[in-house]
Structure 1
Amino acid sequence: MLDPRHAQDTIAAIATPPGDGGVGIIRISGPRARDIARALFRPANAAFTDFKPYRLHYGHVVDANGADLDDVLCACMPGPNSYTGEDVVELNCHGGRAVLGAVLQEALNRGARLAERGEFTYRAFMNGRMDLSQAEAVAEMIHAPTKAAMHLAQVKLSGLLGRKIADLRARLEGLRAQLAVAVDFPDEELECLSPEELIRTVEAVRGEIAALLRAVDRTRAWREGALAVLAGRVNAGKSSLMNALLGRNRAIVTDQPGTTRDYLEETLNLDGLSIRLADTAGIRATDDAVEAAGLTMGRELMDRADLVLVLMDGTVPVDDDTLDAARRTGPDKGLAVLNKADLDGFDEANGAPLAALGFETVAVSAKTGAGLDTLAARIRERILKDAGQPDPDELAPNARQAAVLAEADRELDDLAADADAGIPYDLLSVRLETACDVLSGITGEIAANDVLNTIFDSFCIGK
């Protein structure tokens, strides 16, 4: 757990992903960062006297006995103009796990402690280098599943959301000031804020909050990816279709029913949209406890899915179990897929019962690939039917920020109702203060430690 009492510790961590790579970075931040770097670093240039800010210096990292551990490039970034706002040193090493582990251990031996999750970004927030919405955007950038999600995170990382929230708060604070005048000088002939004007201003702020909340739903698929579930009878070709869409053999395909006993999930990128494609257990009556549990998991996935691909064997009439699954899903969230279009017995009329339920139907052959491009395009279009392409400058709050905005909106809704009912201005001012405090939770001016720990615990160690 991040503790402000340890803010003066010098911290260190591996700042690059685990595994082997060409380059790996050890990041050190805090008051002793440069001293630790001087103890670790032996310059290759005999004329070197000390680190020059924002320059790369070539040399070697040595252990306590002076033995070389690795040849590195070392950069020193003095505070406050660094990522954390403190003195920061980064050692660019070879990317092997053993190398990075040895160099990190030497930094710890010289007085640093291992950073906690998100502690570098936490310090940037605490030192005023970024607000809380920007800190969250750092994590969103790291985990962005697509280029579109990356752009949405970049907009918030630029500080645009923080500035928007500051503007909304300033307008509400302006109302508070006018209410205070009316309360403090009731007998003065001053032009006071009328209840009607107060309500108009509050509703204007609520309108902008509503626009931000609409963007949450509209961009969710771009930010988080979407879930598409393959459902249907055993041997309808779900696993074959999954492999065909992925372009590789991920699911086991056999003629034996019940091969998929729980579910498989893989990520599919459809023209910039990240989709989690799940292959569920084939629908059928079974006495096998494991398979029955898999069927239950499949139904739960269908309930959570953004789109359910109801797969049918196009060579036989649709069965009752598939019809039940289709009715459970409904045509708004379901897309009928008639498979095995390459076989002689294939007949599109076999999908008519689902068409009668309102389902759109796409005919494909998982074996030959016929119809797969059409299916992929329809999957993408159906998931994005209410979203469209995101605006490059669109503000899209995350789930936590959306919850804060919704809470502020409820407070303002109550405020407008109270003003309309003639509630005294001093009581209305309390509601305005509450709404401002709630909004400040987005940028972090007012944020409980448990909220901060929840946010920064989602980061990796080196960020």
Structure 2
Amino acid sequence: MLDPRLANDTIAAIATPPGDGGVGIIRISGSQCRSVANALFRAANQRFTDFIPYHLHYGHLLDANGNELDDVLCAFMPGPNSYTGEDIVEINCHGGRAVLSAVLDEILHKGVRLAERGEFTYRAFMNGRMDLSQAEAVAEMIHAPTKAAMHLAQVKLSGLLGQKITDLRARLEYLRAQLCIAVDFPDDEIECLSPEELIETSASVRTEIDELLSAVDRTKAWREGALVVLAGRVNAGKSSLMNALLGRNRAIVTDQPGTTRDYLEESINLNGLNIRLADTAGIRQTDDAIEAAGLEKGRELMDQADLVLLLADGTAPLTDETMSTAATLDPQKTVLVLNKSDLDGFDTSNAAQMAAHDLEMLAISAKKGTDIDTLCARIRDRILQGAGQPDPDELAPNARQAAVLGEAALELSELEQDTAAGIPYDLLSVRLETACNTLSGITGEIASNDVLNSIFDAFCIGK
């Protein structure tokens, strides 16, 4: 939990991911960061007297006993022109865990506090360096699974979403002012806002909100990736297909039925689209409690999937298990994959009874890799159907922002209905105020501590 009472503390954290690396960065933010760095740093240049802002200084960090910890590069960035809006020192060390831990310990022994999750970005938000939509975009940039997702986050990080929300609020605030005039001066000869103009302006704002909301579904696959589930009867070739799609042996493949008792999940990148592949337990009747639990989990994954690849052995008629499974699946989210096209007896007419389910059908050989590229292309096309590539300036709200926009749109819709019904202006102004305040939750002018904590607690320490 981020405590506003600790906002004046000087904080520090490792800003690079855990693990060994060539370079590791420790960030210090707050009024004491410069004096702490000076106490630990010994410059290689004998003429060094103090840190020059925005310059890299080479030297050594010493512990409390004067022993050398590491040779480093230090940079000092004075507030307010820094990431947090406060004085910041960044120390570039060697990236070993022991090195970074030792340097951070020395910093903390100087009275500096270890930063909480997201506290650097929280301070940037509180100090006016970014609005809340930009702060959320920082986390989205860090976790972006693909280049397209990174670009969508970058658009919001640039402030375009915040500016869009500010513009929409300004139009609603104008309406509020006009309503106040009409309520305060009912008998004066002042040209007041007509109900028709109120409805028209509200509807135009709501239309633009709806356009933002439409981008949520349109860009979901790019932002979050997609779940593709491999399902089918035992020995249909699901694990072989998993390995073929991954290009390596990840799943165990044997002739013994029921090898996959739980589910395996791995990720692949299909030309910029992140796909989570889930290989599920083979469908069959079983008295094995563990296998039954795996089958139930597979059923849950199929319900959640963006696309189900229903595998079947193309050398024989479809089994009752395959047919019953197909009957429960959405044709818009299912592809029937006939496997083993390399074997004698393979015949696509074996799946003729599936015509009633209106499923797209593809023939492959998972073992030989035949037509796997074709299947990959279809997976990508099916996931992205109707979406296409994101526009260069696409504004794609995240789930929290979409919920806020939905609340504002509902309030405006009810405002328009009340206006048409002849509700007095003083009561209509309450709906306008609610809509304005709701939109403020996106940029953070009005946001509860619970909302802020839920956002910044999702950050990593060091960001």
TM bucket, shorter chain: over 0.9
Please name the residue that 2:406 is paired with: 406
Q: Note the C-alpha offset of 1:316.
A: 1.0
Q: Deviations over 1:263-315 (max 9, x none)?
A: 00000100000010000000000000000000000000000000000000111
1:295-374 matches, cutoff 5 A: 295-374=295-374
1:14, 1:25 within 8 Å by CA — same for their partners in 2?
yes
1:147-158 matches, cutoff 5 A: 147-158=147-158
1:242, 1:277 within 8 Å by CA — same for their partners in 2?
yes
Q: Note the C-alpha offset of 1:142.
A: 0.2
Please name the residue that 1:196 is paired with: 196
| Counterpart Cα distance in 2 of 1:453 and 1:338 | 49
1:355, 1:361 within 8 Å by CA — same for their partners in 2?
no
Please name the residue that 2:178 is paired with: 178
| Counterpart Cα distance in 1 of 2:92 and 2:111 | 20
1:58-137 matches, cutoff 5 A: 58-137=58-137
Q: Note the C-alpha offset of 1:387.
A: 1.1
Are 2:393 and 1:393 aligned?
Answer: yes
Q: Note the C-alpha offset of 1:328.
A: 0.9
Please name the residue that 2:380 is paired with: 380
Q: Which amino acid aligns with 2:181?
A: V
Q: Note the C-alpha offset of 1:327.
A: 1.2
Are 2:427 and 1:436 aligned?
Answer: no
Q: Note the C-alpha offset of 1:111.
A: 1.4
Q: Deviations over 1:8-27 (max 9, x none)?
A: 00000000000000000000
| Counterpart Cα distance in 2 of 1:51 and 1:197 | 59
| Counterpart Cα distance in 1 of 2:163 and 2:72 | 40
Determine helix, strand or coil for the equivalent of 1:254: coil
Determine helix, strand or coil for the equivalent of 2:139: helix
Q: Note the C-alpha offset of 1:323.
A: 1.1
Q: Deviations over 1:51-98 (max 9, x none)?
A: 000100000011001100000000000000000000000000000000
Please name the residue that 2:426 is paired with: 426
Q: Note the C-alpha offset of 1:355.
A: 3.2
| Counterpart Cα distance in 2 of 1:326 and 1:254 | 25
Q: Which amino acid aligns with 1:352?
A: A
Are 2:265 and 1:233 aligned?
Answer: no
Are 2:38 and 1:38 aligned?
Answer: yes
| Counterpart Cα distance in 2 of 1:324 and 1:392 | 44
| Counterpart Cα distance in 1 of 2:88 and 2:396 | 31
| Counterpart Cα distance in 2 of 1:306 and 1:77 | 46
Please name the residue that 2:14 is paired with: 14
Using structure 1 for the length normalisation, give the TM-score. Answer: 0.99
Q: Note the C-alpha offset of 1:392.
A: 1.5
CA RMSD of aligned residues (A): 0.6
| Counterpart Cα distance in 1 of 2:230 and 2:355 | 18
| Counterpart Cα distance in 2 of 1:324 and 1:15 | 52
Determine helix, strand or coil for the equivalent of 2:331: coil
| Counterpart Cα distance in 2 of 1:451 and 1:59 | 42
Q: Note the C-alpha offset of 1:330.
A: 2.4
Q: Note the C-alpha offset of 1:356.
A: 3.2
Using structure 2 for the length normalisation, give the TM-score. Answer: 0.99
Q: Which amino acid aligns with 1:384?
A: L
| Counterpart Cα distance in 1 of 2:376 and 2:440 | 42
User: In percent, how many aligned pairs have the same letter?
Assistant: 78
Determine helix, strand or coil for the equivalent of 2:64: coil
| Counterpart Cα distance in 2 of 1:27 and 1:205 | 42
| Counterpart Cα distance in 1 of 2:386 and 2:275 | 16
How many residues are matched? Answer: 463
| Counterpart Cα distance in 2 of 1:359 and 1:452 | 45
Q: Note the C-alpha offset of 1:171.
A: 0.1
| Counterpart Cα distance in 2 of 1:281 and 1:324 | 16
